Chains A and B, each alone.
Chain A
Amino acid sequence: MTDHTRYRSSILADPHDADPELQAHLAACPECRAFTERLLRFESRLKRALSVDVAPSAPVLSFARKAASPPRHWMAIAASVLLGVGMAAVIWLSLPQRSLAADVLAHMAGEPDAWHTLEAVPGAELDAVLQSADMRLKPAAGIVSYAQRCRFRGHMVPHLVVQRPSGAVTVMVLEHENVRGATDFDEHGYRGTIVPIAGHGSIAVLMRDQSVSLSEIEQIAAQVGNSILWMR
């Protein structure tokens, strides 16, 4: 039987430890759940803190050219440097999206109960959550078994679990988070994607079922995105 001290010592060493005994203790102990939520918020900040800005300043590999090298090699070198800088810029621009994915995953770990129920959320309850974000959901999206308004990066956002033929899917509607393109992630037992929604930020769609591929999740994300009716 895991006690508070063992649980907290373990997750202070590894906040994403998926040991079943620790998870059982987490499910049964509100005090440790609150502790975990605070720790995961700290963890998310720690990851951002470690992701210091390292703007590209030089190509990865710098070599002296041979004196006899023909001029066309200069062109190749220049093209290579430009390509390198371009690629670095693309990677650099994608970094904030990786932070967003990390925050989504941290939020997931703080709400483990969201996956457990299979029953549909009562209509009025679901409507209240969706209306708070000025949106509705077409029935084609699937049965919504969990619906909460959650604080995420300073905003209250809908956090839904939708039962799909391929399994339970978590959907977070992130109207305040603009992303440049789809960002896939596969970490800590979650696999998912964050996709832009024109004029309405983005949605994060993720699953715990590792048998579902990222391309399938991207299709689900597209279907869920198309199922949202915006009221403004």
Chain B
Amino acid sequence: MHFAAANPRKTGPIDRPDARRSPRNAVISGRYLEPGADLYMNDEVGGNPRRARFQALCQALRPDLLRFAFWLSRDRAVAEDVVQESMLRAWKAQDSILDEKATKPWLLTIIRREYARTFERKRLVTVDVDELVAREEPLLAAGEDHDLRDLRAAVLKLPDEYREPLVLQVLMGYSTAEIASELNLSGPAVLTRLFRARKKLREACAEDTALDPQE
């Protein structure tokens, strides 16, 4: 079975850089960080305390951000790149954070947009889902718990339109309205996708689905 690794998401107008950027060689210019940056300096962007606070916040959220990026991209390496790139964008735009509690959804939105850009840059990505599961085996493994590993593989095989709202709901604790807003869908459309996602997972994992309703 083959299908595209992900769909580009249309999440609003975002400036695109003219040249390829490297997250490890960056300074601030316009919306992007460019080669030569040293954000440890007390430059116009801010001093060390501010940077330390922002970095601590990002560090605290990093595991969840990486998980989200992984389930979005189904590729650990891409997830790390997307999170790193998103952090750089977030650094530049950190003035827009008015409430630290809102930082996580703000970062998740940046990650979704960054992933959409990554997808646009790598248009030819098509994968065999069984190969994909084999490639990500280290991340899917759950010790002796083979059922958990199988459930992870089943999530990995879900189509994007079912996997993404499911991860937002279960892992990130988003409400239906928040998912609808993030994915630019109606509430009923979100619920339909979540219903189908769980149906598929339960069937794939040989759960007792005798009492599950049909669509």
Contacts and interface: CB of A to CB of B under 8 A. Distances in A.
Interface residues of A, number: 47
Given A13-B195, A50-B67, A45 B147 contact: yes
Interface in B150-200: 151-152, 155, 167, 169-171, 173, 176, 191-192, 194-195, 198-199
Contacts, number: 138
B129 interface: no
B145 to A, nearest CB: 9
A61 B148 contact: no
Interface residues of B, number: 58
Interface in A172-220: 187
Contact of A54 (B70, B91, B155, B199): B70
| Top 3 A-B pairs, shortest CB-CB distance | A13-B191, A54-B66, A49-B151
A87 B63 CA distance: 11
Contacts of A38: 207-208
A49 B60 contact: no
B35 interface: yes
Contacts of A28: none
Interface of B: 23-26, 33, 35-41, 48, 52, 55-56, 58-60, 62-63, 66-67, 70-71, 80, 84, 87-88, 91, 139-140, 142, 147-148, 151-152, 155, 167, 169-171, 173, 176, 191-192, 194-195, 198-199, 201-202, 205, 207-208, 211-213
A47 B171 CA distance: 6
